[in-house]
Structure 1
Amino acid sequence: MYRRPIFTKILSRTDVKHRMTIPMESFNVFQIPQGKHSKRFVFIDMIDTGRPWSFRCSTRKKDVYPKPVFSSGWIKYVRRKGLREGDQVSFFFVEKDGEEGLRFGVQAQKKLRLLGKDCWTTPF
């Protein structure tokens, strides 16, 4: 399995309580059809044996600045992984041997402080 990073983000309070904002420089990866303001994307959990997660990517309907976010499905993922403000999540393009096309992957990492240093661990 090959993976190419799309983006990694340290989670804010809004990201873990309501919806996750998507960095604008990565928004072009998540193509929403013309005339629509949202689309569901399936992400393969890179740690939890390939479990699929469905997140809705949406933008503002009537604003020049789209401000893309992951909404529906995102908070369920946050709760399942026990994520908090300061933890991080990474998104990838995933290519499996023998399968055609790219898929999306997601991986959460929890921040731990050990002996005065920040360490990252993957929740299941």
Structure 2
Amino acid sequence: MTKRLFDKTLSKTDVEYRMVIPMDSLPAFRIPEGEFSKKVDVFDNNCCRWSFRCSKRKNDAHPKPVLSSGWIKFVKEKGLKEGDQVIFSVSDKDGAGGLQFGIQARKRVKLFGQDLWSDPL
């Protein structure tokens, strides 16, 4: 079963450097105890696999998780800009606890003062 993990409207930092992940979504990424990062494979709507590094701060009560290493390549390939949106989902791919992440990107288009969203990229 696929579950929506989070939606995010992209900030300037998200499209230029790394994407900040909502804190309440960090447990889904399952960074091993004692480690501070993990490679995460994510599939888009076209079944293309993207590899990102999910990392958190080492010595901080507020770990501020981010996606980096591969994230900016995804942003550029999809032509994303500040104000566009990504939707992360997660599913149990084999019923044995193995997780599969999905991502949809939508571009924001302003038309007659209204925000419209493109179909998922």
Task: Give TM-score, length-normalised by structure 1.
Answer: 0.88
Q: Supply the distance in 2 between the matched residues of 1:53 and 1:66 (Cα, whole angstroms).
A: 23
- Can you give the 5+ residue segments of structure 1 that lack an aligned partner in the other structure? none
Q: CA deviation at 1:123?
A: 6.2
1:14 aligns with 2:13: yes
- For residues 52-91 of structure 1, the aligned pairs below 5 Å read 52-91=49-88
1:50 aligns with 47
1:90–1:106: 8 Å Cα contact kept in structure 2? yes
RMSD of aligned alpha carbons:
1.5
- Residue 92 of structure 1 deviates from its aligned partner by 0.5
State the 4+ residue runs in structure 1 displaced beyond 3 angstroms. Answer: none
Which deviations, in whole Å up to 9, do the C-alpha atoms of 1:75-100 show, x marking residues without a partner?
000000010100000000146xxx62
Q: Can you give the 5+ residue segments of structure 2 that lack an aligned partner in the other structure? A: none
Conserved in 2, the CA contact under 8 Å of 1:81 and 1:123?
Answer: no
Percent of residue pairs bearing the same amino acid type: 52
The change in CA–CA distance for 1:76 and 1:20 in structure 2 (over 3 A counts) is same
Q: Is the 8 A contact 1:55 1:74 kept in 2?
A: yes
Pick one of 94, 98, 107 that aligns with 1:100. Answer: 94
- The whole-number CA distance in structure 2 between the counterparts of 1:7 and 1:103 is 14
- The TM-score, its normalising length taken from structure 2, stands at 0.90
Q: Is 1:38–2:37 an aligned residue pair?
A: yes
Instruction: Report the secondary structure of 2:82's partner residue.
Output: coil
